[in-house]
Chains A and B, each alone.
Chain A
């Protein structure tokens, strides 16, 4: 019975006409009550996957079951189980927060006598009670995101899809939203499928992370397990003078494999070596660096190890490709 809150995807493909394969044969399973982080750069296929799982797009191939229901054959049943906050909040600027909640409650079939109470409860829950009767056009980005989350929760869904819920938010709003999502899982046992391009978000929130790049899942597991898979820490050096970069790169290469970074010079340390070995060598060789830092593996390292690019670099590539396509 518990299984009914999960998500199962097998061989999912979504092709756009005259376009690339946005989703290229992904398999994944999300357990009931789990927060699954779907991490990847812009254009990786995250939002397309969400659109398919939430019944807004039919898949080209493969199967997907949400809450035990097939997303193609049983769309209305899937929609009755899920709450969705899409990447673009798509709120009506002329309606108030309360107007939105009442409209959504009616459309989701919440009984009439419960609608006002439910709206009030959710407005308090997301901290919008004071702004409830103001038009959405006057809301900040964070307020719109919180209202969007409240709208997704109107009918008490068992599974929640959040597509880049914190993109563009200030750190305070981001943290507040993370707390709310964690609370939903803890108190209501809601299954959460969360897409993000922020490493920290996936690391802090998700029980398990799927890393997607160019439509394919390149790694999956708990954040700790993924980082442990990379195993060895990296050392990052910032040269005092930019022209010293090649010399420092040669120097660090004695201690491990070079890493592709833009801001500093870095290597993944070989087994058995530590920061002290490098500090001693820096002193002995008179290498001039401003900073030397030992870093435990991050999800970005996992992404780099699996794709050969950093998340940031992949996002820039995707953006450049997008501009090229628009220009063509």
Chain B
């Protein structure tokens, strides 16, 4: 087991180095979610006048979205990177070493999680710079970072599963709009109980992304909301627990060796 940790570190380092050397993988996940948040905050600010809206700052309300949107970006990027390794034969190179399957998966995910935390710190800094106050205080920021790491991990596992299952970067990219549908049909722009259209409200209620956004949102605008935290962490853990065996099996199949 101890011999595997340097392997995890080496794979994680490669993942980070590759990402750092491709500005196209770093900048869009930082800039686009923040830009979308700024546009939404400007256009939907009057929503805060609705009776029952939980805050008078739409920016504080919308700040939760980049955390999840950024995770979706990095999931797709990580998935595409892994698929590329399959396509180029780099996975065969790795398979010929003493690398353990779980060490490869862990290393790749460590890189994704590290990037996810960096993104979360950036969104956090943008929010603070824009005057958003954290109702849950410094401890809430720590919980938010832990949650962001878990979101990156769970979505990273999903990306790894898709990458190893399909072995095609193009397929992964084609799934990007599907994940965005989950984001848009959620409570990203309005609290669920204020969504007037029935089917939209039902879809948002069934959509686990809503609970992830509401978990982050609760820490920012409400303080400590046990139910929102439980649903958010629960959704992420379920996604992770479902994706983990799928990703592991897909990796084993892909990294064929006797």
Contact = CB atoms under 8 A, between A and B. Distances in A.
A73 B21 CA distance: 40
Contacts of B13: 103
Interface stretch (A50-58, A220-228, A268-276, A316-324): A50-58
Interface stretch (A82-90, A235-243, A255-263): A82-90
A95 B17 contact: yes
A82 B95 CA distance: 12
B94 A107 contact: yes
Given A56-B95, A79-B96, A86-B89, A112 B6 contact: yes
A90 B258 contact: no
A58 B256 CA distance: 9
A94 B17 contact: yes
B200 interface: no
Interface in A60-85: 71-73, 75-76, 78-80, 82, 84
A103 B92 contact: no
A88 B88 contact: yes
A57 B98 contact: no
Interface residues of A, number: 33
Q: How large is the interface on B (under 10, 10 to 19, 20 to 34, 35 or more residues)?
A: 20 to 34
Contacts of B93: 86, 90, 151
A289 B93 CA distance: 53
B97 A72 contact: no
Interface string B79-93: 000000000111011
A40 to B, nearest CB: 21
Nearest to A152: B96
B105 to A, nearest CB: 14
A84 B98 contact: no
B14 interface: yes
A103 B257 contact: no
B4 to A, nearest CB: 10
Given A75-B258, A99-B14, A92 B90 contact: yes
Contact of B21 (A78, A90, A94): A94
A104 interface: yes
A72 B3 CA distance: 24
A56 B96 contact: yes
Contacts of A73: 258
Nearest to B257: A55
Contacts of A71: 258
Contact of B258 (A72, A88, A106, A135): A72
Contact of A92 (B3, B7, B14, B98): B14
A32 to B, nearest CB: 21
B194 to A, nearest CB: 46
A108 interface: yes
Interface in A91-125: 91-92, 94-95, 99, 102-104, 106-109, 112
Interface of B: 3, 6-7, 9-11, 13-14, 17-18, 21-22, 88-90, 92-99, 256-258
Given A54-B96, A72-B258, A86-B89, 12 more contacts: A55-B96, A56-B256, A58-B258, A73-B258, A79-B98, A80-B98, A86-B92, A91-B90, A104-B97, A106-B9, A107-B10, A107-B11
